[in-house]
Structure 1
């Protein structure tokens, strides 16, 4: 088969695959400042991208604006837009990458170029030219629903919180607290002292104190003439 024909078919297949992936998304998040900008929405590039995507039927939001409720609870139903600058001495060049939540590039616009001497005008012209090539993606939302994935993600998070909340059982007595790990069965007895948040205990065959510093618990003990402090993952 002709080499040029093979390359052409490969390019067409690649473009089709990208377009199909892109069509699964109807929401996009645009950073308020791309890496090459010195301030939010410099030269109005970011709002230009937002307006263009909305014209194409994509719900586009800037990262610094008020976002819909639960917008950030699940990210894998969104496109993430990245602006790339490839300027030369005499021209302004920009392109835009459309990524999924894992950083995979689903589509990249052509490099927009302007030789306009006025910086702001040059960036705007290059941006508009680059966005114009988005038509090559033949974007049309497929109607894919991420509801199942969102529910699973929320359930997973709830399970994590439940495990965290119920992992340690605390038994309180007049003189002590006994902490019991429900998963391993290990226990730690903390004996009260006259000082709040300071307890006497024996842990890993060492006698010492459990103290609270900046909302974190530490086991402090003397070993070989040196005071050691080990962080404890406990809460009671």
Structure 2
């Protein structure tokens, strides 16, 4: 039973890291959108241009060649589509991005008062894409990337703490006095802290560009920083006021 729980947590890592469209670099879009088969109104060009401006690489089926590093059978890219939601008086569209399992990562609607179809649909699409987040792929997350002064202080504190000798915790068990967690090494670049009572990892740790300092994704989808300190695992828990609280998970 314990082995099954561990395997479940490992497989759940993929789910945790695939919750946002911004986690992806590549977006696949069809050559023709189903709702606009008769006339595209240039919507594909508008979508591709916007994706590029936000750091994504759009691949249009049938027109663009897939990059060599991308396996089409993998889940390393998202798919995009534009649905026609027009009413009698207004041009409306809905843009959707999904993962390889069909889960919606991002969905947004936009409408336009412009009467001409081409201008109206393009205007509506531009409005729907305003809230699309900038691409920030998991594999490229770096502690040194766009750090605010506050984040720099957190990283400095983590580096100082991680420079101390770390004693090995052979049991792999940690607790903060409220929850008991199991450390599971997924591979050389990441490990998880798993709560036996949940199928979703409590926290997923991925190596950063700094030794023994980790980018951490919590079960609620938020990102923070973690590090080792005197054989314990420390997570800087984000607070509602924008500050961080030091949460220490002691080795058992």
TM-score relative to the length of structure 1: 0.48
Which fold has the larger relative contact order, with Cα–Cα distance below 8 Å and residues 6 or more apart in sequence? Answer: 2
Higher helix share: 1
Instruction: Report the TM-score, using the length of structure 2 for normalisation.
Output: 0.45
